[in-house]
Amino acid sequence: MRIPEQVKRLAIVIGVLVALTLVARFVLIPRSLTSTSLHWSLTTQRESAKPVKFAGSTACQDCHDDIAAKKAKSFHRVLACEGCHAPSVKHAEDPSAAKPVIPRDRTTCARCHAYDPSRPTGFPQINLTTHNPLKSCSTCHNPHDPVPPKVPKECAACHAQIERTKAVSSHALLTCTTCHKAPERHKTAPRTALPSKPDSREFCATCHGQGRAGTPKEAPKVDIATHGARNLCWECHYPHLPEGRP
């Protein structure tokens, strides 16, 4: 039987359409659009390949083991290095390429330690406007081992006022025994066995003398030979609150 010409032509057209559909379905459409498992694995792959910015504290410990050991025993033991020092994966990969931030301002510590009524009770907080204004936190506190400046209980039991005054002064980190030698008997007979006071101008000059070697750089300097020549330092300056005017 002879197939009519119209049917043949129709068959060709249908064949072409089927071929086009097959090409579109299997060649043009990406496989990830038709296969769910492929789509999911590709998306996961893409998501997993994103770059990391925080290297993680374990990466820091490899080189800075001294700081890590100190911090591990302090109140800040669970803090991540990059919480304060900013994300530093570049520094971890190549230490000379980028340096982490060392925050010396008052805002970094204040993020956690500024007073906020919603913070849990007992969390150490300060009032930023009254707590040693304008002074950098690291002047008195070591961020890797933050201990509040403390006066020994033996001294503070009687000399509480000095303790409170000294705590907000630039001498906060000095211990009582830096300047005073108290005989053991001072505890039982405070008025008969007095502690010593610095008895020479040289004593204060070890930190405040101009042109001396080994003086702390934040201490203000005076020329000890010409400055207030006839008096001992503490006769004009109050060492427990040296900011106070003489």
Q: Return residues touching another protein (CB under 8 A).
A: 12, 16, 19-20, 23-24, 27-28, 30-32, 35-54, 56-57, 76, 78-80, 82-83, 87, 107, 111-112, 114, 116-120, 123
In the complex, least distance from residue 37 CB atom to another protein, rounded to whole angstroms: 4
In the complex, least distance from residue 96 CB atom to another protein, rounded to whole angstroms: 22
Spatial neighbors of 223 by CB under 8 A, at least 6 apart, are 209, 210, 211
Nearer to another protein among residue 12 and residue 225 (C-beta): 12
CA atoms lying within 13 Å on the CB side of residue 175: 7
Nearer to another protein among residue 90 and residue 180 (C-beta): 90
Nearer to another protein among residue 16 and residue 225 (C-beta): 16
Among residues 86, 34, 41, which one has the least CA distance to residue 60? 86
Nearer to another protein among residue 113 and residue 237 (C-beta): 113
> CA 187: distance to chain centroid?
40
- What's the token pair of residue 53? 């910015």
In the complex, least distance from residue 70 CB atom to another protein, rounded to whole angstroms: 17
In the complex, least distance from residue 50 CB atom to another protein, rounded to whole angstroms: 4
- C-alpha span between 179 and 198 (Å, rounded): 6
**Based on C-alpha coordinates, what's the Rg of the chain?**
36
